[in-house]
Amino acid sequence: MSSTDSTPLRQTPLYDLHRSRGARMVGFAGYDMPVQYPSGIIAEHLHTREKAGLFDVSHMGQVRLHGANSAGALEALVPGDIAALAPMRMRYTLLLNGAGGIRDDLMVTRLADEAGGGLMLVVNAGTKEADLAHLQAALDKSVRIEPLFDRALLALQGPRAAAVLARVAPEVERMPFMSAAEVAIHHKPCFVTRSGYTGEDGFEISCEPGDAADIAERLLGEAEVAPIGLGARDSLRLEAGLCLYGHDIDEATNPIEAGLVWTIGKRRREEGSFPGADAILSALRDGPRRKRVGIRPDGRAPAREGTALVDEAGKAIGTITSGGFGPSVVSESGKGGPIAMGYVDAAQAAEGTRLSAVVRDVPRPARIAKLPFVATRYYRG
């Protein structure tokens, strides 16, 4: 995910802010990004769970689709019911390949300012150039595609996020989960969605690059808010059981085995009018050969991505795709413990099934666990 030596890392509009606050920077998806601040990943993680954390996610790709046919055109590439979206409501969906594999996962918001509905998309940082090329090649030519890759994106996440943001934009406090609004934050025009990637209530704030630092500094001036890096972003999403593209889902993974059946709208299932529909609907009908599951290793040692999983007889049954330490999970020794996600043979996927993670050639006991590891706290109104 990092840049090659011959390719200079790009900087987000908040690069100077990160450096001024002592962030440790790393290359990620071609950008110089903060992995942690001086307080450390665990402290940042727990702060987000208890109060509010501010993340720089400007490396993500924002794309606007213009035209009354945008929703119908996008449905030719994804399994979600985009046409049913009301203005300023949003949906998580998947770009699929012809075999039903996942090219990318993305957020789609239907806009209110174009008759019939334009759309705003947010795609992953590492795939945004490929996604843009795919959209340009595959979307109906009646849709105008406007990449907004220079636009800033901030995520304010945690149980105090709404109270903090409502001090400067009162209208956000009662926004439903998975909705959008155009608001002014410190007199700066912003496109705000009530969404995020931590399992907590929160918002993503899209703004002009020149406004990002001022908005971020003002939010960080609130007592409940701390800057949070990519390290805690990863542990927060893992506790919430959320997939990371290129790790837990990819072009060799279909939505059924990934546990993303809910992304396929009822009408879309009936019509079967999305890429890879035959393979996906077959897996839905007959069951997948493997399933994404939560995994709780015994003890305190984490099992990382790529770790082989074996059954009690030593037979290979799967692989870990994301693994690390969950600071908020409840464990036998108190709070915090190793957690992981991965794929196992469908016959071995029942909650409580005993297995082993092979770490440094040593099988270490573990069990299949329910996802998410920590209860999500999205705002339901």
d(CA 205, CA 140): 29
Is the predicted pLDDT of residue 2 greater than 60, yes or no? no
Question: How confident is the model over 3-41, as pLDDT tens digits?
Answer: 445 689 999 999 999 999 999 999 999 999 999 999 999
Asked whether the beta carbons of 280 and 99 are under 8 A apart, the reply is no
372 preceded by a cis bond (ω within 30 of 0): yes
What is the pLDDT at residue 115?
Answer: 60
| CB-CB contact of 180 with 85 (8 Å) | no
pLDDT of residue 116 exceeding 70, the answer is no
For 130, residues 6+ apart whose C-beta sits below 8 A from its C-beta are 103, 104
Residue ranges and CATH numbers for the domains of the chain are 15-58+151-239 (3.30.1360.120), 60-149+254-288 (3.30.70.1400), 289-381 (2.40.30.110)
Q: Which of 200, 206, 195, 197 is nearest to 234 (CA)?
A: 197
The pTM of the full predicted model, rounded to 2 decimals, is 0.96
Q: Which residue has the higher pLDDT, 239 or 381?
A: 239
The order of strands in the sheet holding 102-110 is 90-96, 102-110, 119-123, 61-66, 144-147
**pLDDT digit string (tens) for 274-327?**
999 999 999 999 999 999 999 999 999 899 999 999 999 999 999 999 999 999
Within 10 Å of residue 223's Cβ, how many Cβ atoms? Answer: 9
Cα–Cα distance for residue pair 155/17, rounded to 1 Å = 15
Q: What angle do CA 189, 193, 197 make, to 5 degrees?
A: 130
